[in-house]
Amino acid sequence: MTDLVALKAANASRWPKAKLTRNFMPAAKRLAAPAAKSRYQAVSARTGVPWPFIAVAHEREASQNWNTQLGQGDPLNQVSTHVPRGRGPFKTWEDGAYDALVNCAPFAARNKDWSIGGTLAMLEQYNGLGYANKGRPSPYIWAGTNQYVSGKYVRDGVYDPATVDQQFGCAGLLMTMMQLDPTITFTGARIAPAPKPPPGAAPRPTIATPAKGSIGAFFVDLFKSVFGRK
């Protein structure tokens, strides 16, 4: 039986050491976009599961396809054939997501520990504990970071140590989403703020102070000359 306390501690200790090795930004922007965020928040309100957890699970299970079940990525309008089997069909993505989080193992809606270690451990349980039982970092969590090199279950019960998971891991997605959206926080998770411009760097152009040589600068100069403003 997997020691979940140890798994939480292991993932919490990997978090500050993790460095991204792939470009997570396009996927993170999709997940944190206002339209997507509002749908995740609607499910969060019904289940108590933080919306970023729902978002990254959606990405891993179905590449954010809204016509699939959150539980395993099977079509929304069919009875699922992958684990969890026998779920659905559902009228809406939100209904399928509710079912996956409330009625299916590992019952994320019952989780009370949403620290970064607890969050990552719950995500790992969502995918399966085969990697933890082997003492290996799960690609479901760590793919695309320096905490993962290779090894993947290529199908149920079949582990290939040489296969490299090409999907984005949940940890890297969360890290990048946290850079985009400062409202995303987890106890024990710190993200470095976006770098400040170097000393002496030109300020970012605005309507009032457009970039030199731009059409905006032309109209500002014209306005000043007509109205005698300096």
The answer to whether 48 and 112 have CB atoms below 8 angstroms apart is no
Please state the three-class secondary structure of the chain as a single string.
CCCHHHHHHHHHHHHHHCCECCCCHHHHHHHHCHHHHHHHHHHHHHHCCCHHHHHHHHHHHHCCCCCECCCCCCECCCCCCCCCCCCCCCCCHHHHHHHHHHCCCCCHHHCCCCCHHHHHHHHHHHHCCHHHHCCCCCHHHHCCECCCCCCEEEECCEEECCCCCCCCCHHHHHHHHHHHCCCCCCCCCCCCCCCCCCCCCCCCCCCCCCCCCCHHHHHHHHHHHHHCCC
Residues 27 and 74 in one domain: yes
What is the structure's pLDDT at 77? Answer: 97
The token pair at 35 is 């339209």
Task: Decide if 189 is inside a domain.
Answer: no
Task: Decide if 190 is inside a domain.
Answer: no
The answer to whether 149 and 131 have CB atoms below 8 angstroms apart is no
Residues 27 and 59 in one domain: yes
Residues 163 and 221 in one domain: no
CA distance 17 to 214: 43
In Å, what is the CA distance from 90 to each residue of 94, 100, 103, 104, 172?
A: 9, 11, 14, 15, 30
Residues 86 and 14 in one domain: yes
Is the preceding peptide bond at 89 cis, omega within 30 degrees of 0? yes
Residues 160 and 215 in one domain: no
Domain extent, residue 153, equals 4-180
One pLDDT digit (tens) per residue for the chain, 230 residues = 789 999 999 999 999 999 999 999 999 999 999 999 999 999 999 999 999 999 999 999 999 999 999 999 999 999 999 999 999 999 999 999 999 999 999 999 999 999 999 999 999 999 999 999 999 999 999 999 999 999 999 988 899 999 999 999 999 999 999 999 999 999 877 765 554 545 554 555 555 555 555 555 555 465 456 555 44
Residues 15 and 103 in one domain: yes
What is the structure's pLDDT at 109? Answer: 98
What φ, ψ does residue 218 adopt, rounded to 5°? Answer: -60, -45
Task: Decide if 17 is inside a domain.
Answer: yes
Residues 95 and 209 in one domain: no
Residues 45 and 154 in one domain: yes
The answer to whether 76 and 90 have CB atoms below 8 angstroms apart is yes
What is the structure's pLDDT at 1? Answer: 78
What is the structure's pLDDT at 65? Answer: 98
Count of domains in the chain?
Answer: 2
Residues 82 and 111 in one domain: yes
What is the structure's pLDDT at 230? Answer: 46
Residues 144 and 106 in one domain: yes
Q: Which residues face 145 on adjacent strands? A: 20
